[in-house]
Structure 1
Amino acid sequence: MRKILIVDDDQKTRTLLKTYLEKNQYEVYLAHNGESFLAEFNRYADELSLVILDVMLPDTDGFVLCKTVRHRSNVPIIMLTASSDETDRVVGLELGADDYVSKPYSPRELLARIKAIHRRTGMDSAAAPRYYRFVGFTLDTVERTVTDPNGNLVPLTGLDFQLLKYFVEHAGDILDRSALCEGTRGRDSGPLDRFLDVQISRLRLRLNDGGKHPLLIKTVRGAGYVFSADVTSSNA
């Protein structure tokens, strides 16, 4: 059974989500503030399949917790935000969150986001290959890591990893902005569409693929982007 840790300072919300998600075959741990969240995270970190962070908490904020989690783990993160400000969402994604849900939301919507992340991270697809290799790099879909040709870990946020994973899974295909947004965030391009260009530029730098003429992630004028490297996949 997949285990999810949720931090939200509203008791009714916590209780509602726990009841709803447990009915859908998830094991749920709850926290009411940053301190209790960190205690639970330290206890269950290696067992969690997903973390849900409320942005506004009484003793800290979800961004601080997101940064802390990402320093220690690649577990998928969903941010809950009551703000309509695009900046909050972009900040969360830059810190390593995998998705966000705006308040008010329904438990059904959140469940859909959870399932989408589990599909994208390979947790709902046992037949999918574990490793993707290209020009000396290795992407591990289980550990959610990327190593360079020298065997060193490449520092990627959760969203960076999702974007690269989507590229290697569709190597050689021209991917437009809508496809990339849907493939990495499970939603159509919207307010965060402009963030995609920044994210791709950052990913290129992480892969030493920057400069005027990138070799791995190429821009196709008027059409989108294409991952041009040869990619092989395996389970060993």
Structure 2
Amino acid sequence: MRLLLVEDDDHVAAALSAILARHGFRVTHARNGEEALQALLPADAPPFGVVLLDLGLPDQDGYEVCGKIRKRTAIPVIMVTARGDVRSRIHGLNMGADDYVVKPYDTGELLARIHAVARRTGTGGGSAADDSTPAGPRRSPAGPPGLVRLGQVSIELPTRRVSVDGTDVPLTRKEFDLLALLAQRPGVVFRREQIISEVWHTSWEGTGRTLEVHVASLRSKLRMPALIETVRGVGYRLVAPGPGAS
């Protein structure tokens, strides 16, 4: 998979490029926003699978670059920055970023996030995946596009239908949106503020209790309390059940 690394620090870029190369990525390095946008222009070049975007660029703000990228292409963007406050993360996600990683980060986590975003958007993240990468949603070989199967749970994205062992489970709109979001990346932790931003399209303040209520309702309706795991102090992740789990 080709990866566009937008990073103004050559030392940081060189070290990260070497790590990514060892894991099978072909890295193109852009030192500023303009170089990044130019790298995305050639229509005859193989497409990038993911963009790793630093926010502290010398020519323009990374948020602005993300917005321009999103207007040109659907290539997934992962913001990699030292700006770790909640408002910055929410703003990044609202600007079109697919994920947000705060420096300093664990390299293994960054690689897992790259693979997860690429799987979710269909940009070929599986080609460089290793055994430590959480498994993505499993579609039935004979099933229609948009069908996600997680053990006994089937999620039909186009029709917004959820069933367990073939029995339909009625969900509210937000319950379905929450489950579908977590099912995009099974095993990957979604931060509370990220869930609130993507499902409720608002900020974290005052909405935390609403999220907890919806998680509890999903566990009850699906009759699988262990399906959605609480990661204390961070958020939630979906744990794909094995055969016969209940």
TM-score for both structures, normalised by structure 2: 0.59
SS in 1 for 2:11: helix
Q: Indicate the larger mover: 168-177 or 80-89.
A: 168-177
C-alpha deviation, 1:176, in angstroms: 7.6
C-alpha deviation, 1:167, in angstroms: 4.2
Distance 2:96 2:16 in 1: 23
SS in 2 for 1:43: coil
Distance 1:187 1:87 in 2: 19
C-alpha deviation, 1:84, in angstroms: 2.2
Match of 2:192 among 176, 190, 198: 190
SS in 2 for 1:192: helix
Number of matched pairs = 176
Match of 2:161 among 162, 168, 171: 171
Residue 29 of structure 1 is matched in structure 2 by 28
C-alpha deviation, 1:120, in angstroms: 1.8
Distance 1:32 1:75 in 2: 19
Q: Which amino acid aligns with 2:217?
A: A
Query: 1:3–1:49: 8 Å Cα contact kept in structure 2?
Result: yes
Distance 2:182 2:68 in 1: 27
Q: Indicate the larger mover: 2-11 or 99-108.
A: 99-108
Q: Which amino acid aligns with 1:195?
A: S
Please say if 1:223 is aligned against 2:225: no
Distance 2:21 2:108 in 1: 13
**Percent sequence identity over matched residues?**
31
Query: 1:53–1:80: 8 Å Cα contact kept in structure 2?
Result: yes
Q: Which amino acid aligns with 1:5?
A: L
Distance 2:74 2:160 in 1: 22
Distance 2:40 2:76 in 1: 13
Deviations 1:35-81 (A, max 9, x none): 22222222377511111110111111111111111111001110112
Distance 1:192 1:133 in 2: 22
Residue 5 of structure 1 is matched in structure 2 by 4
C-alpha deviation, 1:177, in angstroms: 8.4
**What 5-or-longer segments of structure 2 have no aligned partner?**
127-135, 148-154, 164-170, 203-212, 222-246
Over 3 Å counting, the alpha-carbon distance change for 1:220 and 1:105 in structure 2 is closer
Please, what is the CA RMSD of the aligned residues? 3.6
C-alpha deviation, 1:95, in angstroms: 1.6
TM-score for both structures, normalised by structure 1: 0.61
**What 5-or-longer segments of structure 1 have no aligned partner?**
135-164, 201-218, 227-236
